[in-house]
Structures are given as C-alpha cells and as structure tokens.
Structure 1
Amino acid sequence: MFRWILGGREAQGSAEKSPVLCIGEEQPKNCFTELQVLKGHFDIVRFLVQIDDFRCASAGDDGLVLVWNIETGERLQELRGHSQQITAMTTFTCNNGVTSHTSLITASSDRSLSLWDPDTGNRVQTISDLHSPVKCLLVLERLSVWVSGGEELCVWNADFQLQCHRQNHSDTGITALIELPKNCLAAAMDKEIGERQNLTTLVFKVRSKQIKTCLVIAVIYRLTFSTDSSLSVAEIRCLSDHQDQIRALINVNDGLFASGSHAGELILWDAVDWNILAYEHILWEESHTCAQSEIRLAAPKPSEMSIQHLTTDGKHILAAVGSGLYVYSVLTKTVVAYRKVAHDSNVLHTMLLSDRNVQLSSACLFLGVKLTLKRSHAVQSVAHRSSSAVYNKQRLIKRSTGFFGMWTFGRSNKQTGPPSKKVVDVPNIRTLELTGDLIGHSGAVQMFVSFKENVLVTCSADHLLILWKDGERQSHLRSLALFHKLEENGGL
C-alpha cells in the first residue's frame, strides 16, 4: 500500500525520517493508524531492543547500531565499530543503588563483542579475536554477569572480563539461552547427539529402511561461585526429548520454561528439576469438507510445522508455527485458540500485548481483546512478508466444521498418549480474528518492540524502521499542542 511512498532498498548515507502518514479508516479495529518511516540503515535490520521509555536501538547486517527517539523519530546516536553484520544485541543495566545506567552489548560476525554507551555513542569496551562468532547473549543482572553463546559458552563480568568458559565442540553450538533458578542456564544446542558420548541415537524404521536420527538437544548449565569468588560453569543435564532443531526457548514463569522445535513440538519444562510437564505436537491433516480459502492443494512442507518463535505472559504461550499462530494455556496444557494461516509465509516474531491504558480499551478493539475476563491481550506477529498483523482474542469464534488442524497429545515414539483429536472434536478451541494489518514495509519484517502509549517499532529487510502509533491519540496530542501554542501567543 505504501511501498511507493516508503521507497525501496537504496542505501541511505545518513539517517532520515519521513513525514507522518495515516492509514485512514480502512481498518476501524486497528488503532495503529499512523506511521513514520525511519531511514539510516543500508542493509537488513534484524534486531531491536528497548533502552528506556522513549529510546530503542536497531542493528543488522550493515554492522551499524542506531539509537532512536521513538517519540519524534529522531536518530540520536550512530554506533560504528563492527566490520561485519550484528549477530546479537541486548541491554545491560548497572544499578549502584542510587542511579542506574543502561548500556548496549553487541556481537558481530567479525568475532568481536562491544559495550556501548547509548547516551554518548561511545564504545566503552571491546573484545576482539574471539574463537568464533557469538550467536546469542544473556544478561544475568542478579549476578552482575552476562553470557555469550556460540561454539563456546562464555561468562563475563560487567567490566568485560572473562570469568569462565566451556567449549561445545560444534560447528553451530548454542543458538539460544535463558536463565533458570539456582544459578542455572538452559541452552539450545544446534548439535547432533551422535557427537555426545553420554546420549543414545534413536533408530527409526521408515519404508523398511533403518534411518539413524540424531536428536537436537538442550543443555542445562550451572554457574558456581567458589570461596575465592571465582566463577565456574558446568554441564549438569542434557535434555534430548526434541526430535528436531530447537528454534525457540523462553521462560514462562519462575517455575516453568518452554521450548519449540522445527518439527512443531512444544515442550513445557519444570525450571527446577527439568522434567517434562507437557508435550504438544502440532500436525496437519487436510479436510475435504471445507470450502474455506485455507484449503491447500498439496501436503504441507516440514517448515510449515516449525515453531519459529514463542512468547508468553506467564499464563499463556503464543507460538508462531509455520505461517500460523497458536495460543497455548499453561494452566490447562492445551491449545485454546489458533489461526492456522495467519500470514502468507512463516511468522518470525510474536508478542502478547496487554492493555496498559484502560481509557483506550473501548476506543481500540486492538487493545480490548480478551482471553480471560480479568486480563486483556492482543496478539502481534510479523512474518516473511512486508506486513505485521494483529489478532483479536475478544471475539473468539468457535469453528464447527472445516478444520484441518489437529494435535496429538503425547509422543508416539516414547510414550503412549490419548488419540489424536481433530479441532472440531475439541469444544474449547477458538480461532483468532484479524483486527489489523500493518502494511508498510517492502521487505520481510524481522521483529518489533512495543512501547507504552501504543507505539510499535518494526524493522525489516528493506533497511527501514517504522514507528506505528495510535492515530487518534496522536491527533489529540497535536491538537492540545496547537491549543497551548495559540494560548501562549494570545491567539485565543
């Protein structure tokens, strides 16, 4: 819709911002009707992090880190230092009891790590000539350390000094990290278990042929402080219950964490003893009775079952499965709502948006969506296309016929569970209603962050960032500003 306005993928010599554009009344349920385009990157923008209530940082394949004011769209800082693409970015907040300061940590394919001051744009610390590129970062503020993952697991203190490390002996190694209780970490390992001596390779018989299948695992590490304050890290458990690459790993609450695989497996784990509490495997079947537009002519490809991203509010898990969205209840351990085809291609990023402004809940159905009577949420997702979408869970519609999604409860190869159920046989399954389609990017949307007062920031393969704002609220703020200006100038 706006591609001719926003431009293509031309390199931008300096940061630019476009005038405010409005969607108009085409999407009455979508409150994000005002957008502002931010230009400054000249390659794919893959990462966004929130620094504080009014600033965010963006980074990507051009090696640049840009700091933005999300209220005005102004570029505040340009952090240059990496010679290759950024592979991970996070914030690190130091609190001395009186004041706190947030810094940025970035990792790059040039095998370096950098600590940045977003206030001044200066690079405070840098570590070069690492053995391999870092793929993920995790800050443990409670312990005043941070962790980098890749071919090796490294633990660093606030002064960028290496405290301990552990080699993983893998070409890919750690792809995701989360913090667990009792000074433990869970790491997703993109690694065949055939490389590990203490695990068993499973053998499956397919069409009278035996095929050796190597499972992808998660590893539990524990950080230990000795009497002389030195720190060590040890591997204490291997979780080999997934049958394919782990694509997503998140904390659900203090006692639970979840993992999702390329094969569409969602596993809920106990965060203390690391036992499986629930297992959900999403499969597909075609229905010949459905006349809806979701009918597919061919069997789904394996990528259509891949869990690309997980997000949670502690009570529900939103899973991006292929091009669909699934809401999983932690309490009932079942899928309670879904939309099998939410985007034209695989969904890359999701978020559960809570209604933080009650006054706007009646005006914007986007914010007034509800899964329970006590809390309101919306579902936001982005995919391998040029738009992001918002789904309403307030008007959850029960489907009576025509579903071709189904779930199996239990793993057929390891345990016996209840028989597979079609969606039509599960009375509480509901579908997500589309309430807004944020069309503005001309390339694949990579991710987004949400700010208070209904502001979203998206980044894309088209080298652009877009600020999405509540058009009604922004119009009201501009009217107030104009009123005050006229009042000051004696115009009233």
Structure 2
Amino acid sequence: MLRWLIGGGREPQGLAEKSALQSIGEDQTQNPYTELLVLKAHHDIVRFLVQLDDFRFASAGDDGLVVVWNAQTGAKLLELSGHTQKITAIVPFPPMESSKENSQLILTASADRTVIVWDYDTGRQVQRSCFQSTVKCLTVLQRLDIWLSGGNDLGVWNRKLDLLCKTSHLSDTGISALVETPRNCVVAAVGKELIIFRVVAPTETLPRWDIVEVKRLLDHQDNILSLINVNDLNFVTGSHVGELIIWDILDWSVQAYELNFWNPSAQLDAQQEIKLCQKLNDISINHFTCDEENIFAAVGRGLYVYNLQMKRVIACQKMAHDSNVLHIAKLPNRQLISCSEDGSVCIWELREKRQLPAEPVPTGFFNMWGFGRVNKQASQPMKKQQEDTTPCFLEPVGDLIGHSSSVEMFLYFEDHGLVTCSADHLIILWKNGEQESGLRSLKLFQKLEENGDLYRAV
C-alpha cells in the first residue's frame, strides 16, 4: 500500500494549512499519483468538492465554510464565510454564452435554511435568501438562465434570487436529487418516487413562469439514492435495496431493470431477496458514473460495471473496500477510481478476461464408474452465474492512503491531478509525480537560463 510520508503518522493535528510536497513510497508502476499536497482550511467534515474552471475548485462541508483553491499549487485563494450551519448543496452558476456579464457565481445551500449566491472571483456575497426548510439539492438550467432548489418543495429562481415559481409541499423527506432532461423538464427523486416536472417560461399569452407536474414514476421499491443522466437517450436511478433502473429520457419508460447485485444467481423472488439480505447497506447503490458504453455503480462495498448495450453486469469487484463506497469516477484508459468510508482511495482498470481452452472430456475405465472429473465437477455446487459469465474484471492498480477517516468524494483534474476530501477535515491534492518532476526541471532550467548560470556551466 502507498503511505504518505509525513513524520508522525496519519494524524491531522499539527499539519500546516498547506504541507510541503510529500513523496509516496512502495512503488506502483501503474499509479501516477506519487506526490501529494495536504491542504487544511476546514475544521469539520469536508463533504463537497466542485470544479470551477480549469485550475480552480471549491470545497465545502459541515463547518459552513466554502474555500476556493488553486488546483495546481494548492494555494488557498478565498474563504467564503456566511453560513451558520453545514453546507447541504453547492453548484457553480456560469453566465450564459450570450451574456455580457463576466461575474463567476456559485450557489451554496445550508442547513441554516439559506441559499447564498457568491462571486468566487472576488469572494463577494451577491445575494442571500431564506427558506422555510433546508434545501438539499441545487441544479442550474443554464439555457434558461435559472436555477432550481430542491427541498420540501421545488423552487425556480433567477440570478438575483427572485423566486419565479414553486410547487406545493411535496414531502417531509424532501427532494434528494435533481437532473435536467429535454423539453425544459427535470426529474426529482422524492423518497422512492420520481416526479417529472416541466418548467414553463413566460410567453406573450402566459407572462409568468410556471412549474407543472407531468408524471410520477413508482417503479422503485425503496428510497432512491442515486440519479444521473447517462446520455441524450437515458437517465439511471439506484435505490437503497440495490435496484438499478434505466429510463427513457423522453417518455420516461423503463428500458432496463437490475436487482441482482448482491445475489447474481437471481434464483429467488425479488422481494424474497430483499428480506433475506441482512444488511441493506451492502446492496445500496450509493453513486453512479458512466461513459458511452457502461454505467459504473458503487453498490455497498463493491463496484459493478453495467453494459448499456448488453443490458447486464459485465464486471464486478464485490469487496472493493472494507466499508461502503461513497464516490466513483471514470478515468482515461479504461480506469475507474473509488473512495470509501474506510478512508481509502483505489484505482481500478477494466480488463477483458482471457478465454481458457476447454478441458478434455475424461475417458477410460474409472470414468465408467463415476470416478472421472466430469462427475466430480457435476457434484460440486454451481458457481454464481455472474462470476462465470462476466467477460471483464476490475484489476486494482493503485492505492492512495492519506486520509485518516471517511473519504467523501474527489475531483479529477486532467492536468493538475486528483483532489480528495474527508471527514478528517483535510483535502489532499494528489499529483502525477513524473509530470511534476518534469515541470520542476523545466523551471530550474528556465531560472538558470535567466541568471546566465546555464551557459557558464556549459
């Protein structure tokens, strides 16, 4: 395993706001993240990371702070202080392409029942609005230049924090997730229901905004934990009891259904499977990510790859971590990264299985009396169907150990590395060691050239 080498172990106490660049031991040839920076500004659990542009990101968590960082250097750029309780949602609000306004906005919602609009270039608090209940999710409809708040109701707002319209009270549990779909529609996860809403923009005949409930989808048996858009044709949902449902994004019909993550043999009735499962957390679908071919699902402590064309699981790692997997992301070169409540971050590679040649059928005297290999194999219990038929597998290729508590999520910057946040109050910026070494050498040569030392040495 990789260990980060900060003298005295893994305790966060005593760390500076930004530690010196550290090296990682125990060589792993396929893991590029061999250097790291430890960033410290929060004093409670850091739950959210959001990318602002090519070189900046923001972090937020239970201390109510929002901190803006430089992803290349790890420098703290801004600290946005305005919330009195934990942050529950955060999302950037970029200007419309046709707009002349250059302000870079970010929205934050908190358990203090407020939403604040910030300018993250200046750190200025642009607007603040109070709500009757906690806003649990935010989403931006950039084409309409509006944003939506999800809580006990669904609200539609403009940049100035003017309430354009809202629904009536939906549920005490509230909206847990929102995604945008075509035709000015959004899908809201409310408990185990999906509610389709259409946002109606003002026209000459109807000079005000409106939001209309279009349809309710009741196919899930338990609370929906994950909801993402897959492509222009589908979105996918995952529930507390391990249901994966792929939906048509236009007519909202079910395109595929999977409920066999924890028991691939699928010999029992679905309801019976759920009752027999001792720990529902072991089958909860905690997070999704996807590419053009596959949906990657964090299911309990495991990782599953669901192929969209074949409509089945093609690879799995049932015990990818010691605790629940909280976040996953797709990396280039068929790689996947995952983080867990156990404090670990792992890199995986999706590989195809090699087909082994068929064994010859045993013949001879002993086989006549049942002593041959065929009968011996037939008497053994059948292996689980999914393990036998999955054409691919997930191979661990990297292990990033740096946090001392649950790793909540991460961000992947193609040029600047990987950022992780944790319940240990820390943010770690993982760097490509080979790339950073090259950059340092280049800077050294440039400095020598500026001072004339390079030519004197030659």
Q: How does the TM-score come out when normalised to structure 2?
A: 0.86
Is 2:28 the partner of 1:27?
yes
Secondary structure, counterpart of 1:94 in structure 2: coil
Is 2:431 the partner of 1:430?
no
The 8 Å contact of residues 387 and 441 in structure 1, kept in 2 or not, is answered as yes
Residues in 1 aligned to 2:326 and 2:436: alpha-carbon distance in whole angstroms = 29
1:251-400, aligned counterparts within 5 Å?
251-285=229-263, 301-354=279-332, 376-394=333-351, 396=353
Give per-residue Cα distances to partners, 1:236-287, cap 9 Å, x unaligned: 1111101111000000011100000011110000000000000011243599
How far apart are residue 488 of structure 1 and its match? 1.1
Residues in 1 aligned to 2:427 and 2:236: alpha-carbon distance in whole angstroms = 30
Residues in 1 aligned to 2:397 and 2:341: alpha-carbon distance in whole angstroms = 19
The 8 Å contact of residues 47 and 447 in structure 1, kept in 2 or not, is answered as yes
Secondary structure, counterpart of 1:46 in structure 2: strand
1:413-492, aligned counterparts within 5 Å?
422-426=385-389, 428-453=390-415, 455-492=417-454
- 2:54 is matched with 53
Secondary structure, counterpart of 1:282 in structure 2: coil
Aligned residues: 413
Closer, same or farther in 2 for the Cα pair 1:17/1:399, shift >3 Å? farther
User: Out of 192, 196, 199, which is 1:223 matched to?
Assistant: 199
More moved, 244-253 vs 309-318: 309-318
User: Out of 250, 275, 279, which is 2:228 matched to?
Assistant: 250
* Runs (4+) off by over 6 Å: 397-400
Residues in 2 aligned to 1:398 and 1:242: alpha-carbon distance in whole angstroms = 37
Secondary structure, counterpart of 1:155 in structure 2: strand
The 8 Å contact of residues 178 and 187 in structure 1, kept in 2 or not, is answered as yes
User: Out of 115, 118, 127, which is 2:117 matched to?
Assistant: 115
Give per-residue Cα distances to partners, 1:302-333, cap 9 Å, x unaligned: 11011000111233111000010011111221
Give per-residue Cα distances to partners, 1:336-380, cap 9 Å, x unaligned: 1111111111100010112xxxxxxxxxxxxxxxxxxxxx33101
Q: How does the TM-score come out when normalised to structure 1?
A: 0.80
Secondary structure, counterpart of 2:453 in structure 1: coil
Residues in 2 aligned to 1:282 and 1:145: alpha-carbon distance in whole angstroms = 39
How far apart are residue 93 of structure 1 and its match? 0.3
The 8 Å contact of residues 396 and 432 in structure 1, kept in 2 or not, is answered as no
How far apart are residue 7 of structure 1 and its match? 5.2
The 8 Å contact of residues 105 and 114 in structure 1, kept in 2 or not, is answered as yes
Residues in 2 aligned to 1:488 and 1:119: alpha-carbon distance in whole angstroms = 32
Closer, same or farther in 2 for the Cα pair 1:262/1:482, shift >3 Å? same
The 8 Å contact of residues 321 and 340 in structure 2, kept in 1 or not, is answered as yes
How far apart are residue 11 of structure 1 and its match? 9.4
**One-letter code of the match for 1:470?**
N
Secondary structure, counterpart of 1:17 in structure 2: coil
Residues in 1 aligned to 2:142 and 2:442: alpha-carbon distance in whole angstroms = 41
How far apart are residue 334 of structure 1 and its match? 1.3
Residues in 2 aligned to 1:439 and 1:477: alpha-carbon distance in whole angstroms = 25
**One-letter code of the match for 1:310?**
F
Secondary structure, counterpart of 1:167 in structure 2: coil
Q: CA RMSD in A?
A: 2.3
Give per-residue Cα distances to partners, 1:203-257, cap 9 Å, x unaligned: xxxxxxxxxxxxx211111111242441111111111101111000000011100
Residues in 1 aligned to 2:260 and 2:64: alpha-carbon distance in whole angstroms = 37
How far apart are residue 91 of structure 1 and its match? 0.3
Residues in 2 aligned to 1:479 and 1:388: alpha-carbon distance in whole angstroms = 29
Closer, same or farther in 2 for the Cα pair 1:5/1:143, shift >3 Å? farther
How far apart are residue 16 of structure 1 and its match? 1.1
Give per-residue Cα distances to partners, 1:31-75, cap 9 Å, x unaligned: 111110000100000000000011000000000000000111100
Larger strand percent: 1
Closer, same or farther in 2 for the Cα pair 1:19/1:399, shift >3 Å? farther
Closer, same or farther in 2 for the Cα pair 1:316/1:344, shift >3 Å? same
Unaligned runs of 5+ in 2: 266-275, 358-382
Residues in 2 aligned to 1:450 and 1:271: alpha-carbon distance in whole angstroms = 27
Give per-residue Cα distances to partners, 1:171-191, cap 9 Å, x unaligned: 21100000011111101112x
How far apart are residue 101 of structure 1 and its match? 4.1
Residues in 1 aligned to 2:413 and 2:96: alpha-carbon distance in whole angstroms = 22
- 2:153 is matched with 152
- 2:361 is matched with none
Higher Cα radius of gyration: 2
The 8 Å contact of residues 6 and 37 in structure 1, kept in 2 or not, is answered as no
**One-letter code of the match for 1:326?**
Y
- 2:368 is matched with none
Closer, same or farther in 2 for the Cα pair 1:99/1:226, shift >3 Å? closer
- 1:165 is matched with 166
How far apart are residue 396 of structure 1 and its match? 4.9
**One-letter code of the match for 2:284?**
S
Larger helix percent: 2
How far apart are residue 170 of structure 1 and its match? 2.0
> What fraction of aligned residue pairs are identical, expressed as a percent?
49
How far apart are residue 299 of structure 1 and its match? 6.6
**One-letter code of the match for 1:309?**
H
Closer, same or farther in 2 for the Cα pair 1:84/1:424, shift >3 Å? closer
Secondary structure, counterpart of 1:474 in structure 2: helix
Residues in 2 aligned to 1:472 and 1:446: alpha-carbon distance in whole angstroms = 27
Unaligned runs of 5+ in 1: 191-215, 288-297, 355-375, 401-419
Closer, same or farther in 2 for the Cα pair 1:304/1:398, shift >3 Å? farther
How far apart are residue 22 of structure 1 and its match? 1.2
The 8 Å contact of residues 352 and 392 in structure 2, kept in 1 or not, is answered as no
Residues in 1 aligned to 2:278 and 2:442: alpha-carbon distance in whole angstroms = 53
